[in-house]
Structure 1
Amino acid sequence: MRFAPEKRGNVIRLHGVARVDHKTKHLAKRLQAGEIAVIHHVDLDEVAADALIAARAQAVINTAASISGRYPNLGPLKLVRAGILLLDCAPPELMQMLVEGQELAVIDNLIVREDAVIGKADLLGEEQVLAKMAKAMLSVKRELRSFVENTLTYAQQEKNFFLGDLPKLELKTKLAGRHVLVVVRGPTYKEDLRAIATYIHDVKPVLIGVDGGADALLDAGFRPDLIVGDMDSVTDAGLCSGAELIVHAYPDGRAPGLARTDALQRMAHTYPAPGTSEDVAMLLAHEYGAELIVALGTHSNMIDFLEKGRRGMASTVLTRMRIGNKLVDAKGVSQLYCRTVDWRAACLLVGAAFVPIGIVAWLNPLTRSFLNMLYLNIILLVT
C-alpha cells in the first residue's frame, strides 16, 4: 500500500508520525510505512534513499541540502521517483524541536505541528531535482581535482602500513585456498546477490559481511562466516548470527565498535588499520591465503566514495595494489560462472522417468502385444 500525498487543487497535504534522527541509516530501521522521516543528511546518497523507500516513508523532511551541488548524487531522484514527498533545507532547529512519535502535517512546503507552522522547506519534485543535478555536474571537475589530491596526500601518509607486515589475528575461519566473497551494502547489492546465488551455492565461498553487508547476506538466505566493520550499521541479529567478528579499529588502536559487541556479549577481534572496513576485509582475505576474492557492492569510483562521505580513496588504491589480480567484481562472476551439468544425476532422472512410462505401457494390452512382437523380431534377427 502506497501512502500517497493528498492533493486538493494545487495544494499538497499529508500527515503522519515523525521519526527523527541525524543518522538516516539508524532512522530507517525504526521507520514504519506511512511515517515521515526527519533527517539531517547533506547529499542524500543512494543507499540511504533505498532504505527510506524500503521502509515506505510517506515523506522525507531534510534539514540539510539533499543536493548541495558538489556532485550529482542520485538519492533525491530515487526518492521522488518512488512517490515520496521530499522537503529540502528545512530549518535545522526542527531536529531539536521535534519529539519522536509526534504527529506532523505537511501543507505544500509548510511543516505543521498541532495547527502551528513550525517551519518551511523547499518542496522538490523530479523537475527540481534534475535541475539541481544538472547544476551539480558543473562542479564535478573541481571535485575530481580535490578528490585526486586528497587521495595522493593520504596515500603518501598510509603507504607504510600497506608496505609493511599487516596485523595478525587468530581466526577460526579458514580462508587459505578458498574463494572469499566480500559483501558491502552498496546501491545494487540485492541484484548482485541474486545474480551470483548459484555461484555461492556451488562454490561455497567464505562469506564476509562488511557491517550492513552481513544483514544483506542474511536477508538473501546466506549466513556470513565473518563480519568486519566498525559495527555501527549491522543489526543485533547479524552480530548474533554465529559469524566470527572483527572490529575495524583506528590505527592507534581505538575501537568504538567493541562497545557494541561487548554489550551483546559477543567476542570480537580488533584490527587496527587506516581506510575503510571493506579494505580491511579484502586485506584479511588476501593475507590469509584466499585463492580468489569476489567483491560485491564495494566502492570503486569517486561518486561512490563521495556518497560514503569520504573525500579520497587512498587506502582503497593501496589495498587493490597489494591484492593484485586475486580481486574480481561480482558482476563479472555472474557473467562468467555457470553451473556445470551433473550427467550422472541427469541419467538417473531420465531413467526414473522411464519407469512409470514402462509400467503403464506394459499394462496396456495393445502396447504389450507390440512389445512382444518387437522382442520376437529382434530374437529372429540375432539368431
Structure 2
Amino acid sequence: MTRVRSLFGRRARPDTGPGVSGTVRVDARTKNLTKRLQPGEIAVIDHVDLDRVSAEALVACRPAAVLNAARSTSGRYPNLGPEIIVAEGIPLVDDLGSSVMSLREGRTVRVDDGGVYSGTVLVAEGTEQTEETVAAAMAEAREGLSVQLEAFAGNTMDYLNRERELLLDGVGVPEVHTPIEGRHVLIVVRGYHYKEDLAMLRSYVREYRPVLIGVDGGADAILEAGLRPDMIVGDMDSVSDSALRCGAEIVVHAYRDGRAPGLSRVEQLGVDHVVFPATGTSEDVAMLLADDKGAELIVAVGTHATLVEFLDKGRAGMASTFLTRLRVGSKLVDAKGVSQLYRTRISTWQVVFLALAGLLAIVVAVATTEFGQTLWLIIMARLDGLFAGIKDLLGIAPAAPIS
C-alpha cells in the first residue's frame, strides 16, 4: 500500500459528488468514539493495527465509513480488525495522516476513492481498503510474525520477573468484602462474543449464583443482561457512572508505582473502593483476585484466550494474561464461543409446527381408545347444548323436521 501525502487546503470536488457523506465523530480512542457514534455517521480514528474488539464495536454502530489517521495494519502481526470492517461493506480509508483528526466533530464530510472532502476542500487523502488489499496486508504481516513472537516471549519473562511474588504467593492482593471462598466466579470482559456467551449462561447463573465480576465495561454488560455485578475491577476508563453506583464493590487497578488513573473518578463519585497495584491487564487482576480469595471455579466471558488474540490486543502487557491463565490453571473455564457451539438452527415456526404435530398425534391416539370415544361424545353433546342455548338467546327458531 502506498501512502499519499495529506493535501489540507487544496480545492477539489464539491460535496455533492460521488462517494458517501455523513457527520463526523472524531476521537483518537476508538472505544470512546463508539459510545457516541450513531448509524450513518463517519468515524474518524487514530488506531494503528486496528484490533478485532474495536472493529466489532465500530461495526455494531453501523457507520457510513471509517477514516483512520494511522495504518489499520502496520505489518507487525496479522491483526483482525480491517477484515471485519471491510467484510461488512463499510468503507475503510487508511493512513490519512494527522490532518484528518483536525476535523471539527459534527461537520459533514464526503468520502470518495480515498479522499476526504469538507465542502470543496480536500482535507486528506489515503488508501481505501478492499478485501484484496486487506488480504495482501495480512499475508505480509504473517511473514513478520516471528519478530512479534520473540517480543511476546521477552515480555512474558519480564512480567514473570517483576510479578513472581504476586503470581506464586498472592503477595499484594487486597482484602475485599465480597464473599468468594468456595463459590463460582463469573468474570465478564467486553471482548469477543461477550453478549451472546453471557446470554447462554443465564441458566448457569440462576442455578449456581456465582460471584459476578465486571472488568471495566464488563460491569455494564452484566447490567444490560438484567443482572447486577457483585464486584467491578479495572482502571475505570470504560465503565459507566451508573454501573459504579450500582452497589458493587469497586477494585481500582493501579500501576506498580502507585499511580491509579481511575482513582480520582471513583473518589468523585463517592463510592467505597480498594486499590490493587499490579502490572498487567485488569482481567488478569480479576482472575488473580478470585483465585487468591478461594474461588472454586472461575468462568471467563470475553477474555483473551489465544496467542492471536494476545497479539491482536496490541499491548506488551498481554503477556501477563498468558501467565495469569497458567496461574489459575484448573479453576478456569473459558466460556468463549459457547453461543456459537449451542446456537440453534431451528426456527420459531419449526418449533410451532413440531408442537402442533405432537398435539395432533396425541389427539388421534386418544380418539382410538374407548375412553377417547366416550370423551368425544360428551364434548359433542356439550357443544350441541351450547349451540342450542345460543339459538334460544338469539330467538332463532329450530329448523322444521324433514318429512
TM-score range (shorter-chain normalised) is 0.7 to 0.9
**Alignment-derived partner of residue 263 in structure 1:** 268
CA, structure 1 residues 241+197, in 2 after alignment: closer, same or farther (shift >3 Å)? same
**Alignment-derived partner of residue 84 in structure 2:** 78
Asked whether 1:158 is paired with 2:163, we answer yes
Q: Secondary structure at the match of 2:34?
A: helix
CA, structure 1 residues 169+155, in 2 after alignment: closer, same or farther (shift >3 Å)? closer
Question: Which of 89, 92, 95 is the matching residue for 2:98?
Answer: 92
Distance of 2:56 and 2:318 partners within structure 1: 24
Distance of 2:207 and 2:177 partners within structure 1: 22
CA contact (8 A) 1:207 1:225 kept: yes
**Alignment-derived partner of residue 61 in structure 1:** 67
What does 1:28-43 align with in structure 2 at a 5 Å threshold?
28-43=34-49
Asked whether 1:307 is paired with 2:307, we answer no
Mind listing any 5+ residue stretches in structure 1 that lack a counterpart?
1-10, 337-356, 369-383
Deviation at 1:24, TM superposition (A): 0.2
Query: In the alignment, residue 237 of structure 1 is paired with which amino acid?
Result: S
Deviation at 1:323, TM superposition (A): 2.4
CA, structure 1 residues 258+126, in 2 after alignment: closer, same or farther (shift >3 Å)? same
CA contact (8 A) 1:148 1:312 kept: no
CA contact (8 A) 2:165 2:171 kept: no
Distance of 1:332 and 1:306 partners within structure 2: 19
Deviations 1:176-208 (A, max 9, x none): 111001111112212221232221122111111
Q: Secondary structure at the match of 1:29?
A: coil
Deviates more, 1:116-125 or 1:143-152: 143-152
Q: Secondary structure at the match of 2:116?
A: strand
Normalised to the residue count of structure 2, the TM-score between the two structures is 0.77
CA, structure 1 residues 146+82, in 2 after alignment: closer, same or farther (shift >3 Å)? same
Deviations 1:243-298 (A, max 9, x none): 11110011122211112212322222111111111111111111111111111211
**Alignment-derived partner of residue 106 in structure 2:** 101
Q: Secondary structure at the match of 1:30?
A: coil
Question: Which of 16, 26, 46 is the matching residue for 1:20?
Answer: 26
Query: In the alignment, residue 86 of structure 2 is paired with which amino acid?
Result: V
Distance of 1:41 and 1:157 partners within structure 2: 29
What does 1:159-308 align with in structure 2 at a 5 Å threshold?
159-308=164-313
Distance of 2:375 and 2:208 partners within structure 1: 47
CA, structure 1 residues 36+314, in 2 after alignment: closer, same or farther (shift >3 Å)? closer
RMSD: 2.5
**Alignment-derived partner of residue 117 in structure 1:** 122
Deviations 1:129-148 (A, max 9, x none): 11211221111122212211
CA, structure 1 residues 292+333, in 2 after alignment: closer, same or farther (shift >3 Å)? farther
Deviation at 1:311, TM superposition (A): 2.5
Query: In the alignment, residue 160 of structure 2 is paired with which amino acid?
Result: A
Deviation at 1:35, TM superposition (A): 0.5
**Alignment-derived partner of residue 360 in structure 2:** none
Q: Secondary structure at the match of 1:93?
A: helix
Q: Which has the larger radius of gyration?
A: 2
CA contact (8 A) 2:192 2:303 kept: no
Deviation at 1:70, TM superposition (A): 1.2
Deviation at 1:314, TM superposition (A): 4.1
Q: Secondary structure at the match of 2:48?
A: coil
Q: Secondary structure at the match of 1:18?
A: strand
CA, structure 1 residues 15+331, in 2 after alignment: closer, same or farther (shift >3 Å)? closer
Query: In the alignment, residue 226 of structure 1 is paired with which amino acid?
Result: M
Distance of 1:160 and 1:127 partners within structure 2: 48
Task: Give the number of aligned pairs.
Answer: 335
Distance of 2:144 and 2:278 partners within structure 1: 32
Distance of 1:331 and 1:304 partners within structure 2: 12
Distance of 2:242 and 2:143 partners within structure 1: 43
CA contact (8 A) 1:20 1:38 kept: yes
Deviation at 1:56, TM superposition (A): 1.3
Question: Which of 47, 50, 72 is the matching residue for 2:56?
Answer: 50
